[in-house]
Amino acid sequence: MPHLIRSSLWLSFFGAILLAWWIMYVMAMDMDLDLLGRPGPMGQAMADMDPRMPMDMPMARFGPLFTMWAIMMAAMMLPTMVPTLTTYERLMVSADGTRAGWLGVLLGYFLVWVCFAAVIAGLQLALLFGGVVNMLGIAPIWLSSILLIAVGAFQFTRAKEVCHGVCHAPMTYFLGHWKTGFGGGLRMGLVMGAFCVGCCWGFMVLGFVGGVMSLLWMGLATLLMVFEKLPDIGHRVIKPTGVALIAGGIGLAFI
């Protein structure tokens, strides 16, 4: 029975990830975007719309934008949780962990990213009505360049190092802050989720560079965040990623 419960939970976890990616793909196709986030004729017409026009435009309302970002958080951030959840499983016997605690860690982590989804949806609305980004969330070249350089520079900061330390070594965090039961798992998940937001917020903001509905950006960002959390190589990819982002931002500025 325990083995069946474990298998069911993991299958549900990966099923949720696949479902989130499928929903994002369907949304991109409905908006006439290709896999790179480039709009077709209908998508371009949507991008050129004025958000103040007297017609229903979901991408100019908080509810649909928040829902989109929340689903995007599931698609992009849940895969990065695999090392954390497998680490918790290793402690289930030796540290009195439970499946309820495992679910608590997962829920706490995701709740923090849902809160971040609300923040970034509000940011997108502010940029949209301020005339900075278009309806597809694509920023002008000057802002894209600034974002790339800023996120690249963040890779070299102490804040990145501290937050990444928790994400990269969940065992260390668990051993120092262990709480049992669902409530304990939820508390640990909330704290770890907060550190994860501190570590990875920049990759989310970079959605405005290529368009927040770009599946290419989503895939690359997810891959980078997964690599950053891998035990053996995670700490080795942070600064090279920062260099690449800064170089990309500088190069974009001269286009």
What is the number of domains present in the chain?
A: 1
What per-residue confidence (pLDDT) applies to 54?
64
What element of type H or E holds 171? helix 170-177
CA Rg, the chain, in Å?
Answer: 19
133 within a domain of the structure (yes/no)? yes
107 within a domain of the structure (yes/no)? yes
CA distances from 21 to 101, 137, 193 (A): 26, 19, 21
**In whole angstroms, what is the distance from residue 96 CA to residue 195 CA?**
24
What per-residue confidence (pLDDT) applies to 34?
79
210 within a domain of the structure (yes/no)? yes
For 124-148, how does the pLDDT look when each residue is reduced to its tens digit (9 = 90+)?
999 999 999 988 888 999 999 999 9
For 93-124, how does the pLDDT look when each residue is reduced to its tens digit (9 = 90+)?
777 778 899 999 999 999 999 999 999 999 99
225 within a domain of the structure (yes/no)? yes
What per-residue confidence (pLDDT) applies to 52?
75
CA distances from 189 to 44, 85, 250 (A): 40, 10, 37
Whole domain around residue 146: which residue ranges?
2-39+58-253
100 within a domain of the structure (yes/no)? yes
219 within a domain of the structure (yes/no)? yes
Kindly compute the dihedral angle of the four CA atoms of residues 247, 251, 252, 254, in this order, to the nearest 10 degrees. 150
Mean pLDDT of 197-211: 92
Question: Which amino acid appears at position 195 of this protein?
Answer: F
Compute φ and ψ for 231, nearest 5 degrees: -55, -40
53 within a domain of the structure (yes/no)? no
134 within a domain of the structure (yes/no)? yes
